[in-house]
């Protein structure tokens, strides 16, 4: 090598360029190893340059070799980085094992459940699902009404129906909603809180008819003749800080002094009006002209006549001819997300044989008989995989379909149907394929695929892919072209004579 | 020692076997192994780090005084461990062509 003083400007530039490459690669190396790593690569670079592109005799080929050498430093640095990010023993020991597969599936299940809990659309759909209301409830409204959200029945009409004997209904409840000023007493030194709530004036039997339990109702037995108010759960939490001793609290509602009788649960029934509080009082005491909402409970005969979610009702009035009304069921009509899921699952199972073999490919090349316990473990593993896959498909389909609240229920149902079908179909295909590639002895995935034989000699000898169990228990032979003498995959169970192939003694079987 | 030290490394790849053979044949630093095996630097150095991690080889820096005397940077030399020698023996049985590709001094004499 020439002394530094004799180096040309181009030689300096080349040296700086290669050293720069190594320094850049060195940034990828974990800091504690960087100095040692850099020292070795710079030392090797010196020797590589000496051999490939000596000073004063630079050639394009030589420079290319030095450049390729320096590029290798990036690969080396990345390997070190990866090794530092994934500590080897814990990960490598589980690589390809049945336990790793189960853990991954459990992780996906937990993630999809967590997403379902976080997405408001999915939460709302799940809360709507199992409605805890009395069966046979209908919302009665004027047949000419264009929107279910607007009240159409007056207290006078309601009074007339309840006075008559009914064949199809055994109970009615009435309520109407209006904005009212509310004054509640705050803590001793904080004065009075004034707000405006949406308050419903409701007949006293409303909650009994709906079958909704009013919480803390037992605590307010003595009302002192004051009207009772039932708070919505939202108001109870927001205004009263979810105080469990709220029952019995006296407050001013409009011009009346009322007493809190309890708290109605939210989300259990989607009644129109979005009410903050319910004042329970006789319908006779309400203004007879203002329209409200009527909920009716059907008798057995009425339920038999309710063949659709919306039915026409004709009510005979004393002085007028008749009222043309509409009964809208408060129960769930149409398929639920679970029904969609089960339907799509059934379709996917029917379609499965069309895209993959349903055989588990357990035949062996040599006369080896697998013990019952190993077979049981293998089947249990398959069962656990399927048992984890199915709820994953359900939750992910809910996330996809109902995660975006802007989509309508009908569109969401289609998305759920399609996503469930795709996930269960391809999920089951993966489960079967994975099972076929699991060593029957240790249930570890076979690896290191190697092509054996020649396609041109198919009719003289088999050709296909050979895979090996890392534990040294088995070899898996999968034919490229199924023939009459080798139609499906076969396992070759390795005895002790194969041990020399492995650098360490065969792994003990589980 | 080595077998218990590498619980998950059940078998050696062709590359690793080739590098062990080259080390055994007397090519004891990275660049010489690259030249001998024809493998690129991006393969040889990571493979040697893995072999060192698995305690099949160990490394040692050349004395600075020797490097200074020869007016070059000090080199890092690699050497087979006892476990490495056992593993290499197993690899030679598995890859019979290994010794023909890189003959050791003893093999050359025979």
Cβ-Cβ pairs closer than 8 A, A with B, add up to 96
pLDDT of residue B1: 33
In a domain, B12, yes or no: yes
Residues 52-111 of A with CB under 8 A from B: 68-69, 71-76, 79-80, 83, 88-89, 92-93, 95
**Is B49 within 8 Å of A501 when comparing Cβ atoms?**
no
In a domain, B106, yes or no: no
Cα four-point dihedral sign A246, A248, A251, A253? positive
- In angstroms, the Cα distances linking B5 to A43, A328, A413 are 30, 73, 55
- For residue range A489-499, list pLDDT tens digits in order: 888 888 766 66
Residue A416, classed as helix, strand or coil, is: helix
Laid out side by side, the sheet with A464-468 consists of A447-452, A464-468, A474-479, A490-493
Cβ-defined contacts of A502-505 (< 8 Å, 24+): A502/A472, A502/B10, A502/B11, A502/B90, A503/B3, A503/B6, A503/B9, A503/B10, A503/B11, A503/B12, A503/B87, A503/B90, A503/B91, A504/B3, A504/B6, A504/B7, A504/B9, A504/B10, A505/B3
User: Chain A residues with CB inside 8 Å of B87's CB?
Assistant: 503
User: Chain B residues with CB inside 8 Å of A26's CB?
Assistant: none
- Rounded Cα–Cα distance for residues A498 and A106 (Å): 36
Q: Of the candidates A420, A430, A426, which has an alpha carbon nearest to the alpha carbon of residue A399? A: A420
Q: What is the token pair recorded at A192? A: 């009075």
User: Chain B residues with CB inside 8 Å of A71's CB?
Assistant: 41-42
- Rounded Cα–Cα distance for residues A306 and A205 (Å): 23
Q: What is the token pair recorded at A317? A: 């009035």
Give the best residue of B9, B19, B29, B31 to mutate against chain A (max A CB count within 10 A). Answer: B31
Mind telling me how many Å the CA of A55 is from chain B's nearest CA?
Answer: 14
Out of A386-395, A425-434, A475-484, least confident range: A475-484
For chain A, first and last CA: distance in Å? 61
Tally the C-alpha atoms within 13 A of residue B89's C-alpha that lie toward its C-beta.
7
**Is A89 within 8 Å of B74 when comparing Cβ atoms?**
no
Q: What is the token pair recorded at A467? A: 């895979």
The helix, strand and coil proportions of chain A, stated in percent and rounded to the nearest 5, come to 45, 20, 35
pLDDT band at B10, cuts 50/70/90?
A: very low
Provide the angle, in degrees to the nearest 10, between the axes of the packed helices A372-402 and A337-355. 130
- Rounded Cα–Cα distance for residues A370 and A363 (Å): 10
- Rounded Cα–Cα distance for residues A418 and A426 (Å): 12
Query: Which one has a higher pLDDT value, A64 or A190?
Result: A64
Q: Which residue has the tokens 């050349």?
A: B62
- In angstroms, the Cα distances linking B105 to B26, B99, B110 are 8, 11, 9
Q: Which residue has the tokens 């996809």?
A: A400
Q: What is the 3-state secondary structure (H, E, C) of A280-313?
A: ECCHHHCCCCCEEEEEEEECHHHHHHCCCCEEEE
Chain B CA closest to residue A72: B42
- Neighbouring CB atoms inside 10 A of A26's CB total 19
Is residue A487 a contact partner of residue A500, using CB atoms and an 8 Å limit? Answer: no
- For residue range A326-385, list pLDDT tens digits in order: 888 777 656 778 888 999 999 999 999 998 888 887 777 767 777 888 889 999 999 999
Cα four-point dihedral sign B4, B5, B9, B12? negative
Phi and psi of A474, rounded to 5°? Answer: -145, 160
CB contact, 8 Å: B38 with chain A?
Answer: no
pLDDT band at B107, cuts 50/70/90?
A: low
Q: Of the candidates A142, A156, A150, A140, which has an alpha carbon nearest to the alpha carbon of residue A288? A: A156
What's the number of domains chain B is made of?
Answer: 1
User: Chain A residues with CB inside 8 Å of B6's CB?
Assistant: 503-504
Residue A398, classed as helix, strand or coil, is: helix
pLDDT of residue A419: 94
Q: What is the 3-state secondary structure (H, E, C) of A237-258?
A: HHHHCCCCCCCCCEEEECCEEE
Q: Which domain holds residue B44?
A: 2-97
Spatial CB neighbours of B13, under 8 Å, sequence gap ≥ 6? B47
- For residue range A153-189, list pLDDT tens digits in order: 888 778 877 777 778 888 888 888 888 888 876 555 5
pLDDT of residue A150: 79
- In angstroms, the Cα distances linking A156 to A164, A323, B30 are 13, 13, 99
- Rounded Cα–Cα distance for residues A126 and A108 (Å): 20
CB contact, 8 Å: A46 with chain B?
Answer: yes
- For residue range A46-94, list pLDDT tens digits in order: 888 888 766 566 677 888 888 989 999 998 998 888 877 766 555 556 6
What's the DSSP call for residue A215?
B
Angle ∠(A93,A96,A97) on CA atoms, nearest 5: 70
pLDDT above 90 covers a percentage of chain A that reads 18
Minimal Cβ distance to A504: which of B3, B49, B75: B3
Cα four-point dihedral sign A45, A46, A51, A55? positive
Spatial CB neighbours of A486, under 8 Å, sequence gap ≥ 6? A462, A464, A477, A479
Give the best residue of A3, A73, A80, A503 to mutate against chain B (max B CB count within 10 A). Answer: A503
Residue A260, classed as helix, strand or coil, is: strand
- Rounded Cα–Cα distance for residues A86 and B11 (Å): 21
Four-CA torsion A265, A266, A270, A271, nearest 10 degrees: 60
CB contact, 8 Å: B41 with chain A?
Answer: yes
The mean per-residue pLDDT over the stretch A471-496 comes to: 83
Q: Which residue has the tokens 């899921």?
A: A341
User: Chain B residues with CB inside 8 Å of A1's CB?
Assistant: 71-72
Is residue A186 a contact partner of residue A193, using CB atoms and an 8 Å limit? Answer: yes
Is residue A212 a contact partner of residue A264, using CB atoms and an 8 Å limit? Answer: yes
pLDDT of residue A509: 45
Q: Of the candidates A24, A315, A333, A297, which has an alpha carbon nearest to the alpha carbon of residue A171? A: A297
Mind telling me how many Å the CA of A481 is from chain B's nearest CA?
Answer: 28
CB contact, 8 Å: A34 with chain B?
Answer: no
Out of A133-147, A425-439, B69-83, least confident range: A133-147
pLDDT of residue A108: 95
The mean per-residue pLDDT over the stretch A256-272 comes to: 75
**Is B10 within 8 Å of A92 when comparing Cβ atoms?**
no
Spatial CB neighbours of A273, under 8 Å, sequence gap ≥ 6? A149, A151, A175, A177, A198, A200, A293
pLDDT of residue A86: 64
- Rounded Cα–Cα distance for residues A138 and A297 (Å): 6
**Is B46 within 8 Å of A76 when comparing Cβ atoms?**
yes
Chain A CA closest to residue B3: A504
Give the best residue of B42, B47, B95, B96 to mutate against chain A (max A CB count within 10 A). Answer: B42
Question: How confident is the prediction for chain A on average, in pLDDT?
Answer: 80
**Is A46 within 8 Å of B30 when comparing Cβ atoms?**
no
CATH code of the domain containing B21 = 1.10.10.10
**Is B7 within 8 Å of A472 when comparing Cβ atoms?**
no
């Amino acid at each position: 090598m020439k002394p530094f003083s004799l180096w040309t400007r181009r030689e300096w530039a080349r040296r700086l360029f290669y050293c720069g490459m190594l320094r850049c690669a060195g940034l990828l190396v974990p800091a504690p190893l960087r100095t040692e790593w850099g020292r070795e690569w710079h030392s090797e670079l010196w020797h590589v340059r000496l051999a490939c592109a000596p000073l004063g005799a630079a050639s394009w080929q030589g420079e290319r070799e030095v450049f390729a050498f320096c590029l290798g430093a990036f690969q080396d640095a990345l390997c070190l980085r990866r090794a530092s990010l994934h500590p080897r023993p814990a990960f490598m020991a589980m690589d390809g094992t049945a336990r790793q597969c189960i853990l991954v599936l459990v992780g996906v299940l937990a993630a999809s459940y967590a997403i379902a809990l976080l997405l408001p659309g999915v939460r709302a759909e799940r809360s709507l699902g199992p409605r805890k209301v009395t069966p046979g409830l209908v919302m009665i409204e004027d047949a000419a009404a264009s929107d279910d959200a607007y009240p159409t029945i007056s207290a006078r009409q309601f009074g007339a129906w309840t006075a008559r004997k009914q064949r199809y209904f055994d109970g009615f409840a009435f309520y109407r909603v209006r904005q009212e000023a509310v004054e509640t007493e705050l803590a001793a030194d904080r004065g009075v809180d004034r707000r405006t709530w949406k308050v419903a004036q409701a007949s006293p039997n409303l909650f009994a008819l709906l079958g909704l339990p009013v919480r803390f109702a037992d605590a307010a037995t003595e009302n002192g003749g004051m009207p009772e108010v039932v708070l919505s759960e939202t108001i109870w939490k927001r205004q009263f800080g979810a105080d469990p001793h709220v029952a019995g609290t006296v407050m001013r509602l409009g011009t009346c002094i009322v007493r809190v009788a309890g708290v109605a649960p939210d989300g259990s029934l989607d009644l129109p009006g979005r009410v903050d509080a319910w004042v329970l009082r006789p319908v006779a005491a309400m203004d007879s002209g203002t329209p409200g909402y009527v909920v009716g409970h059907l008798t057995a005969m009425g339920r038999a006549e309710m063949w659709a979610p919306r039915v026409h009702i004709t009510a005979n009035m004393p002085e007028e001819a008749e009222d043309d009304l509409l009964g809208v069921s408060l129960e769930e009509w149409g398929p639920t997300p679970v029904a969609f899921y089960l339907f799509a699952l059934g379709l996917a199972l029917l379609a499965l044989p069309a895209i993959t073999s349903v055989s588990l490919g357990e035949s062996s090349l040599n006369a080896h008989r697998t013990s019952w316990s190993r077979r049981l473990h293998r089947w249990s593993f398959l069962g656990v995989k399927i048992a984890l896959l199915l709820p994953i498909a359900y939750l992910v389909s809910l996330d996809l379909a109902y995660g975006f609240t802007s989509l309508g229920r009908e569109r969401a149902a289609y998305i759920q149907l399609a996503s469930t079908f795709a996930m269960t179909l391809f999920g089951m295909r993966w489960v079967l394929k994975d099972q076929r590639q699991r060593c029957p002895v240790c249930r570890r995935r076979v690896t290191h695929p190697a092509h054996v034989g020649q396609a041109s000699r198919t009719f003289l000898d088999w050709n296909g892919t050979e895979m090996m169990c890392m534990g040294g228990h088995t070899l898996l032979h999968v034919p490229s072209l199924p023939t009459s003498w080798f139609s499906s995959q076969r396992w070759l169970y390795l005895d002790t004579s194969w041990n020399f192939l492995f650098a360490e003694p065969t792994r003990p079987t589980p | 020692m080595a077998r218990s030290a590498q619980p998950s490394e059940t078998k050696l790849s062709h590359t690793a076997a080739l590098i062990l053979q080259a080390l055994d044949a007397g090519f004891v630093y990275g660049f010489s192994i690259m030249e001998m095996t024809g493998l690129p630097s991006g393969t040889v150095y990571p493979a040697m780090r893995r072999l060192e991690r698995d305690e099949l080889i160990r490394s040692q820096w050349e004395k600075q005084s020797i490097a200074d005397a020869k007016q070059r940077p000090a080199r890092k030399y690699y050497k087979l461990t006892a476990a490495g020698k056992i593993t290499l023996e197993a690899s030679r049985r598995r890859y019979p062509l290994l010794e023909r590709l890189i003959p050791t001094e003893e093999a050359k004499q025979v």
